[in-house]
Structure 1
Amino acid sequence: TKVVGLIKESGVTLIARIAGLLLAAISVEMIVQSIKGFFEL
């Protein structure tokens, strides 16, 4: 049905956004750690 397709699509979008946010958070954490290591703070 159309409803099932819509839920699947929005679910995939939601998962993709969550994965993207998680990846961004990990990237920021790594950058912060690198800067701290570089300046030896």
Structure 2
Amino acid sequence: LIIETLKTVLHDIYVLPQVRKDRLRSIQKLKDNLKKDKKT
């Protein structure tokens, strides 16, 4: 049980920030594309 909890905590610390970054990057790309579309 303790090991499982540790795994979860480590996952939260290392994986989640990375996922969040990727998501932010995707959102940024979407916004950029939307801006380009509006210009044309």
TM over 0.5: yes
Matches within 5 A, 1:1-41: 2=2, 5=3, 6=6, 9=7, 10-40=9-39
In structure 2, distance between residues paired with 1:38 and 1:18? 30
In structure 1, distance between residues paired with 2:10 and 2:32? 33
How many residues align? The count is 36
What TM-score results when the alignment is normalised by the length of structure 2?
Answer: 0.69
What TM-score results when the alignment is normalised by the length of structure 1?
Answer: 0.68
Gaps of 5+ in 1: none
The ranges of structure 1 where at least 4 consecutive aligned residues each deviate by more than 6 angstroms after the TM superposition are: none
The RMSD of aligned alpha carbons is 1.8
Sequence identity (%): 9
